[in-house]
Amino acid sequence: MANMWAFGATDEIRIADPRGTLLRLWSYLDAHRATLVGAAVSILVVSGLSMIPPWLAKHVIDDIIPRSENAGTKLAQIGVALAMVHIARAVLTYVNRYAIAVVGQRVVLTIGREMFGRLERMPMRYFERQESGVTMSRLVNDVNALQQALIGPTVNAAVGIIDMCIYVFILTNLNWRLTLMIVATVPALIVTTRVISDVLRVRYRRVQESAARVNAVLQENVAGVRVARAFARERTELQRFESQNRQNMGANMEAVRVQAIATPTMQMIAAAGTALVMWYGAAQVMTSHTTIGELVAFMTYLIAFYQPIAQFSEVNNVASQALAAADRIFGFLDQPIEAEKPGAVDLPPIRGYVRFEGVSFGYQAEQTVLHDINFDVQSGEVVALVGHTGSGKTSLANLVGRFYDPTAGRVTVDGYDLRDVTLHSLRSRMAIVLQETFLFASTIRANIAYGRLDATDAEVERAARLANADEFIEKLPDGYSFNVAEGGSRLSRGQRQRIALARAILRDPRILILDEATSDVDTETEVQIQAALDRVIEGRTVFVIAHRLSTIRNADKIVVLDHGRLLEIGSHHELIARDGAYRQLIEMQFAPVRASAEPVSVPVA
């Protein structure tokens, strides 16, 4: 019972070498090298300017105050100098932060474009095994995490590291003995930072994995809300969400515990270094080995030296999240895509002659769903694929659209092996009307025009008329501008089917695949769709998949499948005369409506 809701595949855990991930991220940043160099120069200048105030303070304490002559004038000059320093720092800080933000946004835009492009070319097997909520988490949450790291924390970390290096140089010039005490704490800081980074990266990977599973449950419940309510399973779904949410909270708390340890540990190391400097520095002042102004300046620089350490804890936190996100992003980008053969050619204009030559296919290596299929479809023929559920009808049609490749044999169009032509050129000459019609959350006009984006309004409306959709469209409040909502939820199933058919008509395909296009609709709607189909299929090569045998009697060729094997092929009259599998399918369809045990009268027209 504990695993009864473990639907779908979970995201694979992939912890990569952080150096490899960073190098790959740098490949995106390298395209903006000029902007980054400018920002780096600006940061260097800002860091240099930040060194001036403590040095001026030392000068005031050691040189101006003991010698009172012209003190007012000199202090005024120092005040003006400090004001100019702060103004320059403010301007340059704006410049470098804006420049780095621009680079970060452009990198995120590039990565997001690559991820979506990859998603569009993922093989169908990926979508079969991966939950859509997990994929959405990668495209949204992981990219956002990377974006946050590339903007603010990147600047802070860069400024902090540069400042610390400059501070070490200045502190060494002020008092090398005191500087040695500070340097002695640096190895402890580096080791602590490295250990915490490694631990946090693993923790945040788990956080993002658990967040992806929460997203998967949310997405699934939004899509399946009608089923959950129809079966009164709201409480069960709430418990399922609660379970995933608690796992997510647990993963977050593990990361929080590491963060909570990190900050005080770093602060303790910094406090130890500061205490040593104060103790030894005070002793040097008392023995006249250093001046009060020098010690004040040194302590001011020291506080500034340790200040980035407190920021590093936050930066380390965000950077660890970003590395985990980048690891998942690159894992997604490394997924195999729909393969095009090297040297694949564009399919020229076709007649629509389709041939299956010894075709076998399986979704998994150990499971074959089609066995040695051989038959031809002449240009302009209507071919009906019939058989019991699971007989391989849809699998056969999927091979025509090359959503999958055969594991043996080949499928050809006009003599071209589908594996030798580009996917775009093949699918641009096809159209598919599915049983589960999908419409985008847009207008009816936009959904029909999806079949051909450059179509005029007149062409869209003509396609709707051919699909017998214009009558109900014109009765809607906004006509063709009516927004159908996500998935076309504001339309009936039959209306959605006719919109999908209009979309296919507008494409003017040479090959048309109708997968259960008239299933689950009422008789009147079926008649309307069938009338539209009769107009559309003329002159095209058409594959019709249907359980309602009444929709395929006039097909030129009927292919009868059973458990992936081709049993019979012929016209309706030929197959009825054979008294084989096709006749049995018809009898099984019509027998249930008989009230008596009379012999079944098989319709032949």
Pair 392, 304 in one domain: no
Backbone angles phi, psi at 445, to 5 degrees: -60, -45
* Total domains present in the chain: 3
Contact 388, 565 (CB under 8 A): no
- Per-residue pLDDT at 416: 93
Q: What six digits make up the tokens of 109? A: 């835009």
SS3 58: helix
Give domain status of residue 580, yes or no.
no
Nearest Cα neighbor of 321 from 194, 203, 494 is 203
- Per-residue pLDDT at 421: 92
Distance CA 215, CA 142 (A): 12
Pair 285, 208 in one domain: yes
Nearest Cα neighbor of 469 from 489, 445, 490 is 445
- Per-residue pLDDT at 377: 93
Pair 361, 374 in one domain: yes
Burial of 242 (0-12, 13-18, 19+ CB in 10 A): exposed
The domain boundary residue, chosen from 278, 298, 333: 333
DSSP 591: G
Give domain status of residue 595, yes or no.
no
CATH number at residue 442: 3.40.50.300
Pair 502, 518 in one domain: no
Residues 6+ apart with CB under 8 A from 291: 61, 62, 285
Number of Cβ within a 10 Å radius of residue 583 = 17
Give domain status of residue 455, yes or no.
yes
Contact 75, 64 (CB under 8 A): yes
Pair 82, 149 in one domain: yes
The domain boundary residue, chosen from 488, 508, 528: 508
- Per-residue pLDDT at 72: 72
**Cα separations in angstroms, 531 against 38, 304, 335, 418, 542:** 68, 81, 44, 32, 15
Distance CA 465, CA 445 (A): 13
Quickly list DSSP for 435-470. Answer: SS----SSBHHHHHHTT-TT--HHHHHHHHHHTT-H
Residues in the chain: 605
Pair 393, 478 in one domain: no
Distance CA 134, CA 252 (A): 18
Structural domain containing residue 467: 436-508
Give domain status of residue 553, yes or no.
yes
Nearest Cα neighbor of 589 from 386, 383, 382, 384 is 386
Give domain status of residue 5, yes or no.
no
Nearest-5° Cα angle at 68, 63 to 71: 80
Give domain status of residue 419, yes or no.
yes
Distance CA 454, CA 450 (A): 9
Question: pLDDT under 70 in the chain at which residues?
Answer: 1-17, 62-71, 151-159, 223-227, 229-231, 309-317, 365, 517-526, 547-551, 589-605
Pair 329, 353 in one domain: no
| Strands 416-417 and 408-413, bridge-based pairing | antiparallel
Contact 261, 138 (CB under 8 A): no
Pair 403, 443 in one domain: no
| Strands 382-386 and 557-562, bridge-based pairing | parallel
Give the pTM: 0.67
Burial of 488 (0-12, 13-18, 19+ CB in 10 A): buried
| Strands 430-433 and 354-361, bridge-based pairing | unpaired
- Per-residue pLDDT at 238: 81
Contact 554, 542 (CB under 8 A): no
Nearest Cα neighbor of 396 from 380, 424, 377 is 377
- Name the strands in the sheet holding 541-545, side by side, starting at the edge strand that comes first in the sequence: 430-433, 511-515, 541-545, 382-386, 557-562, 565-570
Give domain status of residue 473, yes or no.
yes
Distance CA 10, CA 6 (A): 9
The domain boundary residue, chosen from 493, 508, 523: 508
Say which amino acid occupies 534: D
CATH number at residue 169: 1.20.1560.10
| CA dihedral of residues 52, 150, 198, 27 (deg, nearest 10) | -110
Pair 458, 495 in one domain: yes
Q: Say what angle helices 186-223 and 292-333 make with each other, to 10 degrees.
A: 40
DSSP 140: I
Pair 153, 73 in one domain: yes
Pair 503, 517 in one domain: no
Give domain status of residue 583, yes or no.
no
Q: What six digits make up the tokens of 512? A: 């048309």
Pair 157, 212 in one domain: yes
